[in-house]
Structures are given as C-alpha cells and as structure tokens.
Amino acid sequence: GINAEYGGCTVNMEKLAPLLVGAHAGSAIVAGHYAGLWATMHQHAGRKWSIPDLCEAAGCKERWVREWVGVLASAGVLTLEEGMIVSCDSDVAAALLPTSELLHFFTSLEFTMDKEPQIGACFKKNGPLGVGYSDYPNFQDWMAGWSHCRNENQNFPEGYMKMVGGGVHEALERGITVLEPGCGRGRHVMAVAQRYPNSNFTSFDIDEEAIELNKVDAERQGIQNIVFTTGDFCNLKPEWANNFDYVMIFDCMHDLPQPAVAMKGLKGVLKENGVVTMLDIDTSSDMVTQTKNPISAVLYNISLHHCMSVSLSSGGEGLGACWGVELAQQMLGEAGWQEGEVRVIRGQIPNHAVYVMTKGNGLK
C-alpha cells in the first residue's frame, strides 16, 4: 500500500490519495472550462501541443496554463511528454465542453466548496438548521445550465412530451392550460411554450428575483403564452383549484420543505381529467444499495450542500436529492395517488426518473 505519516499516524493512502487528487483536479477542470481550454483542445482533437501554441490558440497566458497542466497531468487527465508537449484524449475534451452534463457536475463544486464552514456548523446539535436559498446566489444559473444541457441532449421538449405519453404531446398541440411549480430560471417552461404556442402556461417560483428575470427573458424572446408569478409549491393559490389540464415538475420536489403537502395539492389544481409529470433524480431509497454506485457521491454531495440543506433551513423535511424511487412512490400513494394512477419511467434520461400521474381519463 501507499503509506504516509500524518498527525503522528501511519495512514494507508490507497483510498485517500485518489480522493485528494480528484478534488484538486476537479477544481482545475472547472478553471480550464472558464479559460476555454477544453473547447480549444476539442476543436483540435488529437493534437499534441507545446504550451506556447496552446496558449496562443486559447488566448491564455503561458504561466497560468503551465501550472494548470501541472495539476491535470499529475492527475492523469492530460498527458505531458518530454519537451513539455501536452495532449488530451479527444473523448475527455468532448466530455468537458459547456454542452456536457458531466462538465456541469464539475462546476457544482463552485457552490459546494465555499460553503464548508457553514455546512459543517449545521452538523452540530446546537448549529443552524441548514444553509438557505439566499446563500446560493449562483445556484439558479447553475441549475438552468444543467437543465439546458440535459434538454439539448434529450430533444426537449417534444421528445420528452412524447416519451411521457398519456396524450400530453397531442394535448399541448391542441392547446391546454399548464402549471409549472418551482420554475427556477424558466428554461423548461420557455422551451415548452415556444414549441406549443396553442397552450397557455402559468409558471411560479418562490425566488422573486428569478421570476423577474424570467419575465425579461420571455419578453426578449417574444414569448407571450406564459404568466410568471411568485408562489409557494407547499401553499398553492386557491384560484388555481381545478384550473389546469397539465402540471409539469422538473427537479424541485426533493428541495421542498414539505414535499408531502405539495404532492397532496397536485390533484386539487388539476381539472377533472388531467396529468402530472414529475422529473426527479433516479436513485434507490436504500442508501446501502445506492452507494454501491461510486457516482452517487456526486449526487449525495450536491444534496448535502444544497438540496437537503435548503429544505432543512426552513424547518422542512430535508428529503435530499437521493430520496429515491421507492420513497417517492410511497409518498405519492400517501398523497392520494392510487397505484394505477402512477407510472414510473426509468432509464430514458440519465440520472433521472419521470413519474406520470393521471387523474380521471387524463389527456387522451
């Protein structure tokens, strides 16, 4: 094994060294993204670079790039040969482009690593309940970017609406009323509204700043079939009762303080016949089972630093991103959705499951 002396103890570093290296390499990967280095390497796939040539192509300073290469060549992400010649496997560069979901998992480090003292304090019995939304000013933009990448790769929105079935695509084409809770920066609803101009959309979020920005974005894009408003998913407006044909939810249920309350409210806002779709993280509720997949560390850590934290900060349940399909199905049942009214689609969208709930005859 690889042994080292730390704190007066001999430590086997076979487990810890890769984690330490990976943490620092991840930070450098994000820096390379903002410097445009991955895009440059991708444009010239397979090329072996001198550092001055790479700097010239990317418009970067040589001293900064040389140190960056040192980090990632040590970690095995880049290859550095005699004569200071650097190269990158073409699949690695492609996986770290701005359009890649993997890149967005790396950039999540931006809103996790700077919160450690605050998050650590929340662990203590006399510490804060959690770190709240206001402490994550960049989260909405990060989430919007991740959603955009996923949607581009999944032919959203038409591909998504056809996948969920239940007559949703056809009904949107004809023209229906749609509610989107927890819209964030509005990337989903604006895409859907543009594709289905015959339908009318109401989209809300608790984040007032995001709603105001969405209004500006929609006006700039000439989208006229969306009403953006502030609202609380756990306390739906009375005037929305029996008012919508379709409710679409994207990646927000597990962040809510009272998700059970939100689930119970869904049937109430639907008309006699309607459909709800809920996109959420696809995990097992059994942590022992889920942690056998190493990439789950990313999901649990984003949850630790944001999803669970923001829910707990407002006195909520703190479901977390990895609440799992089993618990989601149980909670939907407790909220009044019968077994025959719920379908779960797995394996169609990376890292996500889609729950399709049908009231009455649905939208067919």
10-residue mean pLDDT profile of the chain (364 residues): values are 68 84 96 98 96 98 98 98 97 94 93 91 97 90 88 90 97 98 96 98 95 97 98 96 98 96 96 97 97 96 96 96 98 95 95 96 91
Predicted pLDDT at 1 = 55
Answer whether 78's CB lies under 8 Å from 69's CB: yes
Predicted pLDDT at 154 = 82
Predicted pLDDT at 137 = 87
Q: Is 134 exposed, middle or buried (0-12, 13-18, 19+ CB in 10 A)?
A: exposed
Predicted pLDDT at 153 = 79
Answer whether 98's CB lies under 8 Å from 142's CB: no
Predicted pLDDT at 7 = 66
Predicted pLDDT at 84 = 97
Predicted pLDDT at 339 = 87
Predicted pLDDT at 186 = 95
Answer whether 37's CB lies under 8 Å from 68's CB: yes
Cα(141)–Cα(320) distance, integer angstroms: 20
Cα(106)–Cα(26) distance, integer angstroms: 6
H or E stretch covering 266: helix 259-269
**Is the overall model pTM greater than 0.85, yes or no?**
yes
192 contact partners, CB below 8 Å, separation of at least 6: 157, 161, 172, 178, 199, 201, 248
Closest to 221 measured CA to CA, from 191, 178, 184, 182: 191
Cα(105)–Cα(33) distance, integer angstroms: 12
**CA distance to 16, 84, 291, per residue, from 21 (Å):** 9, 21, 21
